[in-house]
Amino acid sequence: MARFKSTKKIVVPGLAVAEKKFALVVSRYNSEVTEALLAGARECFERHGVTGEGVDIVHVPGCLEIPTVCAKLAESKKYAALVALGAVIRGETYHFEVVANHSTWALVELSMKYKVPVACGILTVDNLRQAKARAGGKEGNKGWEGALTALQMADLMEKL
């Protein structure tokens, strides 16, 4: 049987954080949830050695404002990765779909445009119970997961 020989290098992301700067962009809307997401993200960064000046935090009114601020931060080239944190909770109108779809898609577009990883920690849930479960409850903390993704992607982008 022939063996597969690859000449390509396999790149695996690690968590090397020396000299890297990160930013958290956090929606104030549904602050009971978003502050818990922020706490999870900060804890993750601290646990992995990113503290103080290594993390900037920017608060915005709502999730639709997150992409604009992320674009400005990405454009500055000061950050190895960004983390977007918010909570969109379904209501009685179509507004849920508009906010959920537009905010998350805009993050994907700006990440590709500026070549800066943007970890999406914007919850899109049906009710407050689901949001709390994902902001430090039984489903974990998506803020923590977003920060971990940012750390891994920053390392990966540096290796590529």
Active-site pick, 48, 59, 95, 102:
95
Handedness of CA 110, 153, 151, 86 (dihedral sign): positive
CA distance 39 to 32: 11
Closest CA to 146 of 117, 125, 126, 109: 117
Instruction: With beta carbons less than 8 A apart as the criterion, state whether 57 and 26 touch.
Output: yes
Which run of H or of E encompasses 88?
strand 81-89
CB 90 within 8 A of CB 127: yes
Longest Cα separation, the chain: 61
Active site residue 95: yes
Residues with catalytic annotation? 95
